[in-house]
Chain A
Amino acid sequence: MTEAMAGLLQGFVIALQPHNLFYCFVGVAMGTLVGVLPGLGPSVTIAMLLPVTFGLEPVSAIIMLSGICYGAMYGGSTTSILLKIPGEASSVLTCLDGYQMARKGRAGPALGISAFGSFIAGTFSVAGLTVVAPVLGDFALRFGPPEYFSLMIMAMTVVVYLSRKSMIKSLMMALAGLILGCVGMDPMTAEPRFTFGRMELGEGLGLVPVVVGLFGLSEVLRNLGSGSKLEVIPAKIKALFPNREDWKRSAGPIGRGTLLGFFLGILPGVGTIVPQFLSYALERRLSKRSEFFGSGEIEGVAGPEACNNAAMGGTFIPLFSLGIPSNAMTAMLLGALMVYGLRPGPTLINDSPDLFWGVIASMYVGNALLLVLNLPLIPFWASLIRVPYVYLSSFIVIFCLIGTYCLNNSVVDMYIAVLFGLIGLLMSKFGYEPAPLVLAFVLGPMIETALRRSLVLGDGNFTLFFERPLSAVFLAAAVLFLVLPLFKRRVSEGLGAED
Chain B
Amino acid sequence: MPKIRNLDRWGALAWMVFAVFIASQAWALGLGTRSAPGPGMVFWGSAIILFFLSCLVLLRKPDPHLAEEMSSPIPWGKVISVLAALGLYIAFFEIAGFLVSTGLLMVVLLYLAGATSRVRILTVALGGTFCIYLLFHVWLKIRLPGGILSILP
Q: Residues of A with Cβ closer than 8 Å to B?
A: 51-52, 55, 165-166, 168-169, 171-172, 175-176, 178-179, 182, 186, 188-189, 191, 193-194, 220-222, 224-225, 227, 389-391, 393-395, 397-399, 401-402, 405-406, 409, 411, 414-415, 418, 421-422, 425, 428-432, 444, 447-448, 451-452, 455-456, 459-462
Contact = CB atoms under 8 A, between A and B. Distances in A.
A411 B10 contact: no
A409 B8 contact: no
Contact of A455 (B37, B40, B74): B37
Contact of B42 (A169, A172, A429, A451): A451
11 contacts: A169-B57, A175-B47, A189-B39, A191-B39, A227-B114, A393-B113, A398-B105, A398-B106, A415-B90, A444-B42, A456-B37
Interface of B: 7-8, 10-11, 14-15, 18, 22, 25, 29, 33-37, 39-43, 46-47, 49-50, 53-54, 56-57, 60, 63, 65-66, 69, 74-75, 78-79, 82-83, 86-87, 89-91, 93-94, 98, 102, 105-106, 109-110, 112-115, 124-125, 128-129, 132, 136, 140-144
Contacts, number: 175
Contacts of B11: 430-432
Contacts of A391: 110, 113, 115, 124
B36 A179 contact: no
Which of A186, A221, A401, A462 has most chain B Cβ within 10 Å?
A221
A402 B57 contact: no
Give the one of A222, A225, A447 with max B CB within 10 A.
A225
Nearest to A172: B53
B140 A430 contact: no
Contacts of B63: 165-166, 169, 431
B37 A430 contact: no
Contact of A224 (B34, B36, B41, B79): B79
B97 to A, nearest CB: 13
Contact of B86 (A176, A393, A418, A452): A418
Contacts of B22: 179, 194
A460 B56 CA distance: 30
B84 to A, nearest CB: 10
Given A175-B53, A179-B22, A222-B74, A398 B79 contact: no
A399 B128 CA distance: 11
Contacts of B140: 52, 55
Contacts of A178: 42, 46
Nearest to B22: A179
Contacts of A421: 83, 86
B142 A448 contact: no
A179 B43 contact: yes
Contacts of B106: 394, 398
B110 A194 contact: no
A349 to B, nearest CB: 30
Contacts of B129: 398
B66 A398 contact: no
A189 B30 CA distance: 12
B33 A460 contact: yes
Contact of B50 (A176, A414, A459): A176
A165 B11 CA distance: 15
Nearest to B33: A460
B7 to A, nearest CB: 6
A227 to B, nearest CB: 5
A399 B113 contact: no
A51 B63 CA distance: 39
A394 B143 contact: no
Contact of B113 (A189, A225, A462): A225
